[in-house]
Homo-oligomer: A and B are copies of this chain.
Amino acid sequence: MARTGRRPGDSGTRDAILDAARRAFAERGYDAATIRAVAEAAGVDPALVHHYFGSKEQLFVTTMELPVDPTELVARLLAGDREHIGERIAATFVSVWDQTANQHPFIALIRSAVSSEKAATMLREFLAHALFRRITDQLGMPDGHLRASLVASQLMGLAIARYIIRIEPLASAPPPVVVAAIGPTLQRYVTGDLGPAAGDHPPAGRAQTGS
């Protein structure tokens, strides 16, 4: 215990904030969970949340135990030529997931998201706002939101087929085989032709149906 320089009080406060943040993200979703609300639930000043975790995104990354910051991940995926971004996305996800397979918190979140509406909200908003929409937005492609949701569909399907349900030979295929198979799919979803019908559909989808 004496080895760490952290005082017990610090660790308790930090854990209380993390607990409050996990609950807030799960109950309200990524967008609605504010630093202010997290701080209030944890009984601390918002400045202390910023002190420990920086931005809301960094707080989210910590609760998700993501191996990298999404901003950094998006920047890394966007670096390099546009013609190979699908391959880079596939290679990055397979290499991260292969390392920790079933134990990975992101795989755990997919598991939760199919049975819990709260986890589904969290995963949906994270994928949409923090990850794939940033990529399609920054590439300036039309139908960016549709593209982002298609990328999410193939990556979730890959996670389930390879790590959760384990359909062979995809479950045991070496990473280069998976990247060669999935990369071109993601490439087309991000930069390719989605067919004549795509542009006719409003990006916000069902949310606009009632208006």
Which residues from chain B contact A162 at a C-beta distance below 8 Å? 153
Q: Is A173 an interface residue (CB 8 A)?
A: yes
In the assembled complex, A8 has its CB within 8 A of some CB on chain B: no
The chain B residue sitting closest to A196, CB to CB, is B180
A68 interfacial contact with B, CB 8 Å: no
Nearest chain B CB to A192 CB, angstrom units = 8
Give chain A interface residues in 96-118, CB to chain B under 8 Å: 110-111, 113-115
Would you call B184 and A188 a contact (CB within 8 A)? yes
Residue of B nearest to A186 (CB): B185
Which residues does A use to contact B, with CB under 8 Å?
110-111, 113-115, 120, 123-124, 127-128, 145-146, 149-150, 152-158, 160-162, 164-174, 176-177, 180-182, 184-185, 188-189, 194-198, 200-207, 209
Q: Say whether B168 contacts A207, CB under 8 Å.
A: yes
Which residues from chain B contact A128 at a C-beta distance below 8 Å? 167-168
Bound form: Cα–Cα A194–B185 in Å? 10
Given contacts A157-B156, A172-B205, A205-B172, contact A164 B198 (CB under 8 A): no
Smallest beta-carbon distance A25→chain B, Å: 15
Q: Tell me which residues across on chain B come within 8 A of A194, comparing CB atoms.
A: 177, 180-181
Whether A123 lies near B205 (C-beta < 8 A) is: no
| Residue in B123, B155, B166, B205 whose beta carbon sits within 8 Å of that of A165 in the complex | B123
Q: In the complex, A177→B206 CA distance in Å?
A: 14
User: In the docked arrangement, what's the CA distance between A162 and B209, Å?
Assistant: 16
